[in-house]
A and B are shown apart, each in its own frame.
Chain A
């Protein structure tokens, strides 16, 4: 599949981080740390991916009592396809641990 050259570098890194998680649900702050990007970059991307049908989201019951439910994310089939077609532009600059999975 042809690469979508309109995707920004952070979008590609976030997609790679989500792809790395497979079908496992992932959380916002974990994604920030694994992708090495700020929340101000992550959330607009997640919002856009969700609106375009590339991301599934669900509310999960809190692990500890007294905590609020958490929002969790994983790629849809279309999202996984998009992520594979758009790896990070420079995996050497990606977050630690991601470059291996993208090689």
Chain B
């Protein structure tokens, strides 16, 4: 039995390994045949499978960071569904999260394809960013209120929290383009979040912009970060009296009350959300500004969910965060190295790098940057 399982694991490892490493899979299988004893064979095979999984993840993440992030998101949503099911959440909660995942993936696909097939002018993209900022402000002023907090809109009887998809998109766009209108759009969003008040999303925006300013300093980055920090401080001036919503808030704690495995599923889902940013940071040095902002925004959303009564993204009940996470993936480069640019490259403006194709529109050739070799590659 154990010997058969060991053979299966090594075969699986050989299948998983990237084509360039398939010989190593054969080598592992040949070694397994020489090992005496079922337990050592199983231990050897498990290690081989671990090696293959790591190599496969590294191989795919190096090539297509956005696809890796989408896979991680789907896995995290799946773990969330497992938690909701174990916790006895109503079936319509599971259906809503599943529908949001499908909608988010569809939106991501449409945005990616539209950007690939068309070339929106830069000013048009800036106008969209500004419109999103003002849309968020409109929600703060005219949206649905509950317990003194105004941050929702009702669409067909379903309450959506627009900040969960507008803020991440504005933040990741700012990682690529920091012109005047983009900065203004971010500052309008800061004002909107301060009015709601929404400490979680104000914190997410502030942390995302701070990460952007740290990785790629610039005047507009500092201005936006300063504004976001002031906005975050303003949210603390008013009480946020939202009560705990079951299956939405405090999930990091309540899941362990359901079952230790449910708690572990929630933690694993949270780690999966951040994993693409970490993997990208390590393997795609030329685009670290994008991974830093993306990771910082979602880390802050999760931290807020752990510290206060704020939605737990992807894992708890809530379609807005699922859609927001999936569409914010447009801020990650479709391919590693795509849009990579050196911060200190001669002749470049510190507030601009070449965005990936989906965010690139109408940038004149004179402002395009030459990709440079990531500095972490050494001859040895």
Contacts and interface: CB of A to CB of B under 8 A. Distances in A.
Interface of A: 4, 27-29, 32, 38-44, 46-47, 52, 67-71
Contacts of B44: 29, 32, 39
B292 to A, nearest CB: 23
Contacts, number: 60
Interface residues of B, number: 24
Query: Which of A32, A41, A67 has the most CB atoms of chain B within a 10 A radius of its CB?
Result: A32
13 contacts: A28-B31, A29-B44, A39-B43, A40-B49, A40-B50, A40-B51, A43-B24, A43-B47, A70-B27, A70-B31, A71-B23, A71-B30, A71-B31
B177 to A, nearest CB: 36
Interface string B22-51: 011011111101110000000111111111
A71 B28 CA distance: 8
A52 B51 contact: no
Q: Interface SS of chain B: helix, strand, loop or mixed?
A: helix
A70 B257 CA distance: 51
B335 interface: no
Complex A-B, nearest 9 residue pairs according to Cβ-Cβ distance, in ascending order: A40-B47, A39-B47, A71-B27, A40-B50, A38-B47, A68-B30, A28-B31, A43-B51, A29-B31
Contacts of B31: 27-29, 39, 70-71
Contact of B24 (A29, A41, A47, A70): A47
B30 A40 contact: no
Contacts of A68: 26, 29-30, 33
Contacts of A43: 24, 28, 47-48, 51
B26 A44 contact: no
B54 A28 contact: no
A69 B55 CA distance: 23
